[in-house]
DNA sequence: ACCAGACACTTTTTT
DNA sequence: AGTGTCTGGT
């Protein structure tokens, strides 16, 4: 097949304007102006009230009645381009879902004629649910609601042959991509140390985000890698993907773009199909997504372009992975006659939180400018509280205490659920300290993000087996498992197999099945390979007639893969077996193995246990879109937040993105927001003394309190003043508050409170500037639980006891100090736990 | 095939 | 510092 990429102009000029023909083609499926509900078609599940509402002078449909005027305008402005600038907590998702419901209920389109795009599966899922509630459960009727990628796959599967693929192509994940590139680098006789595959994978990703195919990449980029072979390597990669009948994530967007450009008729069909287009989180779109969207959204003059993009330039935090805030800024230019609607009424947070966040973000220059406000007035609302700690360990301890305090209800007499609290960190290494602390406290927590289920070794191995059964051309899967478990097929054999497969341009599995008929291999290798080939033949045969979960189990059994882990005596092995069982279990929800594989490649997340009451720990990035009653923001220090690298590499715009991240963090909070900074932090192993973040100085004094933490060394923070005055002098920069009575009190306190660095340290005494409260309140002793039970009862456990812990499973007691047990867990390794959290097994 | 020691890497992450 | 990956030796 010829290289179908070579002759496609990609980034030069505007594509041909979209179809010129009149809208409203005579598609059978087309609703008339009176709407799809006018007739007696059933099965849409749209509530009957819609029909009543449509006729004559109707009262506002009840789904509209709860909206404020701006939201309502955003929902009801159906024809023509609309940009909704929706600040944090202003009801963005509500607008989006209500708008879809409105389109459906007024009979302007069938569910299948609405294209609604999100970035994450989670957002897509949530939208589906909420539309279902509004419209009465017709969620299956919205086949084109999904992520950019899942919609991309859907389109691509229909027209794969136009870009040289078969419709059963495989979607490779990052790991596969890196392995593939590594092979290519080695094939070029390049030093794979000097030119790391991972780095090149990143470059390709970057190019694809910009919509660039090999001919389009800038000279400089092409030269910068692999002794100037960057472009060739990229082209070789694309070619290799095609022979593997595979795609990477970028291709899921790029291929459809290519297809639309080279087959205008097809694009026309999509134009007719998608009468309404909606995009969520528009500030996060990258160039490729933007191109894709424009191709689909463009309409001839005089035909309304029914595009609605919703976004918030202040929450654009993905510039580093190719998002172009410009897309949002130039919306009005791209779509003529666009109506821009701002949503600024916030329903989430207190005025203090909004005030703090708003004042901070006002320091950014490149923004469209919104100011969030709320009607909520409650003198009991807490200000944002800034805390200082000596080091990250103390920070974790203090946060833990605050959490327990809220949980007990000491503060306001209300007991707070752990589910309502979150710790949002800048970088994931910060999480560890909190986890350690919470383990010791026996405080439930859950980490959001981080290493994912489907990325685990054993899961990826198992998936490789399944992939190869479904898609015998998947050489990457073949290479992954051909010698896993060990079958005596070493590097030499595999390399030989690989080379001869490439030479004859056939998949490796096929090459292997031919090779075992010859004498090319040594008898031992030949036998081993023969067995592998036989196995795959068997499994492929069973694919159509065996229940897929059953087949999956058989594959793992017969291949010896489960045995491999059963025989493995390492600590992780039992956990891995559990994960494999979990994998099979999760397949039950799918109709076929293929369906399951598709799901996994697009939806990498596995759902969390929602029933457990636990504090959430996550990065600021993954917190976007979420909200919590109480939010803890640790690590506000120069170098960490704003991150040094963002500053070094991104300059001013890097700093502004960090500031937006801070803004996102604060605006996650509904009622309480605690910010922490430490004076000493260990970075890459060495202790460094750190300066408080400049963002602290950018917070307005009127909405912020300073907490006095008595054990800390403030290191002359207030006097340092190294950042110059902010542009917001008249609003009293935060730095000034360090000369307030509260601050001085804190300074004075530290002398007598630091005397005991461990046991008797008081937690946080919160000094409320402006509320005139009477100084530090109820002091929480660190490890209160410890103190209590040590005095009362000797531990009921003894060394060697077999115990069970709800999170870590079974283990043996290895040590006892008071009521703190050191336990050697079968799966989780050694942990220190309070004895109240384990029971005798 | 397996292990030990060297070496590298250390912001954010979805799909 | 700590972890994970890769190489080179046995």
Q: What is the DSSP annotation of A221-274?
A: HHHHTGGGTHHHHHHHHHHHHHHTTEE-TTHHHHHHHHHHHH-HHHHHHHHHH-
The CATH number linked to A525 is 1.10.486.10
Encoded tokens for A495: 């390399």
Looking at the structure, tell me whether residues A377 and A316 fall in a common domain: no
Give pTM, 2 decimals: 0.76
The mean of the pLDDT values for chain A is 78
Q: How many structural domains are present in chain A?
A: 4
* A156 inside domain: no
Same domain flag for A484 and A557: yes
Q: Which domain holds residue A494?
A: 453-606
Query: According to the model, what pLDDT value does residue A250 have?
Result: 94
A150: nt with nearest C1' to CA: B15
Q: Which two tokens stand for residue A685?
A: 């192993």
Q: Is residue A597 part of a domain?
A: yes
Residue spans of beta strands (DSSP E) within A442-545: 445-447
A163 lies in some domain: no
- Same-domain status, A464 and A589: yes
Looking at the C1' of nucleotide B7, which residue has the nearest alpha carbon? Answer: A193
Where is the binding site, in residues of A?
86-93
Q: Which nucleotide is nearest to A432 (CA to C1')?
A: C2
Give the range with max mean pLDDT: A82-86, A515-519, A568-572. A82-86
**pLDDT, mean of residues A713-725:** 34
Question: Which residues of A are part of a known binding site for ATP?
Answer: 86-93
Same domain, A572 and A526: yes
For the cut 70, the answer to whether the pLDDT of residue A432 exceeds it is yes
Does residue A697 share a domain with residue A570? no
CA of A568 to C1' of B4 (A): 20
> Could you tell me if A268 and A238 are in contact, meaning their C-beta atoms sit under 8 angstroms apart?
no
Active-site residue, selected from the candidate residues A70, A280, A475, A656: A280
Query: Residue A310 above 60 pLDDT?
Result: yes
pLDDT band at A8 (very low <50, low <70, confident <90, very high): very low
Judge whether A315 counts as a catalytic residue: yes
Residue nearest to nucleotide B11 (CA to C1'): A427
Q: Of the spans A346-360, A401-415, A450-464, which averages the highest pLDDT?
A: A346-360
> Domain boundary at A706, A731, A754, which?
A706
A92 assigned to active site: yes
Residue written as token pair 């994998």 = A583
| Residue nearest C7, CA–C1′ metric | A193
Together in a domain, A602 and A691: no
**A80 part of a folded domain:** yes
**What band does A484 get if pLDDT is binned at 50, 70 and 90?**
confident
Least confident stretch, A15-29, A61-75, A707-721: A15-29
Assess whether A93 carries a catalytic annotation.
yes
| A684 strand C contact, CB < 7 Å | yes
Q: Give me the mean pLDDT over the A733-753 stretch.
A: 35
In this structure, are residues A292 and A251 in contact, taking their beta carbons and an 8 Å threshold? no
Q: Is the CB of A436 under 7 A from strand C?
A: no
| C strand bases under 7 Å from protein CB | 1-2, 7
Domain holding A635: CATH number? 3.40.50.300
Provide the positions of strand B that have an atom within 7 A of a protein CB.
1-2, 8-15
Q: Is the confidence at residue A505, as pLDDT, over 50?
A: yes
User: Which pLDDT band, with edges at 50, 70 and 90, does A769 fall under?
Assistant: very low
Percent with pLDDT over 70 in chain A: 77
CA of A174 to C1' of C4 (A): 17
Q: Are A90 and A134 in the same domain? A: yes
Task: Say if residue A534 is in the same domain as residue A483.
Answer: yes
Q: Residue A193 CB closer than 7 angstroms to strand C?
A: yes
Buried b (16+ CB within 10 A) or exposed e, A759-788: eebbbbbbbbbeeeeeebeeebebbebbee
Q: Which residue has the higher pLDDT, A399 or A370?
A: A399
Task: Measure the CA–CA gap between A691 and A143, rounded to whole angstroms.
Answer: 51
Determine the distance between A464 (CA) and B4 (C1') in angstroms. 30
Dist. CA A122–CA A129, nearest whole Å? 11
Active site residue A752: no
The spacing between the Cα labelled CA in A657 and the C1' in C3, in angstroms, equals 30
Q: Per the residue annotation, which of A258, A315, A667, A701 is the catalytic one?
A: A315
């Amino acid at each position: 097949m010829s290289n179908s990429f070579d002759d496609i102009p990609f980034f030069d000029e505007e594509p041909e304007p979209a179809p010129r023909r009149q809208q409203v083609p005579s598609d059978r499926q087309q609703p008339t102006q009176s709407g799809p509900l006018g007739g007696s078609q059933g099965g849409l599940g749209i509530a009957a009230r819609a029909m009543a509402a449509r006729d004559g002078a109707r009262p506002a449909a009840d789904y509209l009645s709860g909206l404020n005027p701006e939201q309502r305008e955003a929902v009801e402005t159906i024809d023509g381009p609309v940009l909704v600038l929706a600040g944090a907590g202003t009801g963005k998702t509500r607008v989006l879902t209500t708008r879809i419901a409105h389109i459906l209920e007024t009979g302007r389109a069938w569910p299948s004629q609405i294209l609604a795009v999100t970035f994450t599966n989670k957002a897509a899922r949530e939208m589906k649910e909420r539309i279902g509630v509004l419209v009465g459960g017709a969620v299956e009727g919205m086949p084109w609601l999904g992520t950019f990628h899942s919609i991309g796959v859907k389109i691509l599967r229909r027209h794969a042959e136009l870009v040289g693929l078969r419709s059963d192509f495989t979607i490779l994940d990052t790991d596969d991509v890196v392995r593939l590139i590594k092979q290519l680098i080695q094939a070029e006789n390049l030093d794979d140390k000097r030119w790391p595959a991972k780095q090149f994978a990143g470059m390709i990703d970057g190019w694809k985000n910009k919509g660039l195919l090999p001919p389009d990449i800038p000279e400089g980029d092409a030269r910068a890698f692999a002794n100037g072979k960057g472009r060739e390597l990229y082209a070789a990669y694309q070619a290799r993907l095609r022979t593997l009948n595979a795609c990477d994530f970028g291709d899921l967007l790029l291929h459809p773009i290519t297809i639309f450009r080279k087959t205008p008729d097809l694009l026309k069909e999509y134009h007719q199909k998608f009468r309404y287009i909606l995009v969520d989180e528009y500030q996060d779109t990258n160039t490729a997504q933007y191109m894709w969207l424009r191709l689909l959204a463009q309409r001839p003059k005089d035909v309304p372009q029914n595009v609605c993009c919703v976004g918030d330039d202040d929450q654009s935090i993905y510039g580093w992975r190719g998002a172009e805030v410009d897309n949002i800024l130039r919306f009005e230019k791209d779509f003529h006659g666009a109506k821009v609607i701002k949503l600024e009424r916030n329903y989430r947070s207190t005025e203090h939180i909004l005030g703090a966040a708003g004042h901070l973000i006002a320091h950014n220059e490149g923004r469209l400018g919104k100011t969030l406000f709320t009607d909520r007035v409650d003198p009991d609302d807490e200000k944002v509280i800034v805390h200082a700690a000596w080091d990250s360990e103390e920070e974790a301890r203090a946060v833990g205490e605050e959490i327990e305090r809220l949980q007990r209800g000491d503060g306001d007499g209300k007991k707070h659920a752990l589910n309502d609290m979150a710790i949002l960190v800048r970088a994931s290494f910060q999480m560890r300290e909190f986890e350690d602390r919470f383990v010791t406290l026996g405080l439930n927590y859950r980490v959001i993000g981080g290493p994912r289920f489907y990325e685990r070794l054993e899961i990826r191995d198992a998936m490789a087996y399944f992939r190869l059964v479904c898609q015998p051309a998947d050489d990457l899967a073949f290479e992954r498992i051909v010698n896993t478990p060990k079958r005596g097929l070493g590097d030499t054999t595999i390399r030989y197999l690989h080379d001869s497969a490439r030479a004859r341009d056939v998949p490796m599995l096929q090459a292997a099945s031919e090779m075992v008929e010859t004498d090319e291999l040594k008898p031992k290798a030949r036998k081993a390979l023969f067995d592998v080939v036989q196995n795959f033949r068997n499994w492929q045969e069973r694919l159509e007639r065996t229940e897929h979960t059953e087949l999956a189990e058989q594959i793992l059994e017969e291949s010896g893969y489960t045995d491999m882990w059963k025989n493995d005596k390492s600590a992780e092995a039992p956990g891995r077996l559990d994960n494999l069982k979990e994998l099979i279990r999760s397949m039950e929800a799918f109709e076929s193995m293929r369906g399951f594989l598709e799901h996994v490649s697009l939806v990498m997340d596995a759902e969390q246990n929602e029933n457990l009451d636990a504090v959430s720990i996550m990065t600021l990035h993954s917190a976007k879109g979420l909200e919590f009653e109480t939010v803890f923001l640790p690590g506000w220090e120069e170098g960490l937040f704003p991150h040094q690298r963002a500053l070094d590499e991104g300059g001013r715009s890097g700093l502004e993105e960090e500031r937006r991240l801070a803004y996102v963090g604060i605006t996650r909070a509904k009622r309480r927001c605690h910010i922490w900074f430490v004076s000493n932090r260990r970075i890459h192993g060495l202790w460094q003394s750190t300066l408080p973040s400049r963002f602290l100085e950018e917070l307005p004094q009127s909405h912020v309190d300073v907490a006095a933490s008595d054990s800390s060394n403030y290191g002359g923070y207030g006097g340092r003043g190294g950042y110059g005055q902010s542009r917001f002098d008249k609003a009293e920069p935060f730095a000034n508050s360090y000369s307030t009575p509260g601050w001085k009190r804190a300074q004075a306190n530290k002398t007598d409170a630091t005397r005991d660095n461990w046991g008797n340290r008081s937690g946080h005494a919160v000094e409320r500037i402006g509320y005139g409260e009477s100084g530090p309140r109820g002091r929480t002793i660190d490890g209160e639980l410890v103190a209590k039970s040590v005095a009362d009862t000797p531990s009921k456990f003894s060394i060697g006891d077999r115990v069970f812990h709800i999170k870590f499973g079974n283990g043996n007691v290895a040590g006892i100090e008071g009521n703190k047990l050191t336990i050697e867990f079968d799966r989780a390794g050694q942990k220190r736990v309070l004895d109240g959290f384990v029971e005798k097994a």
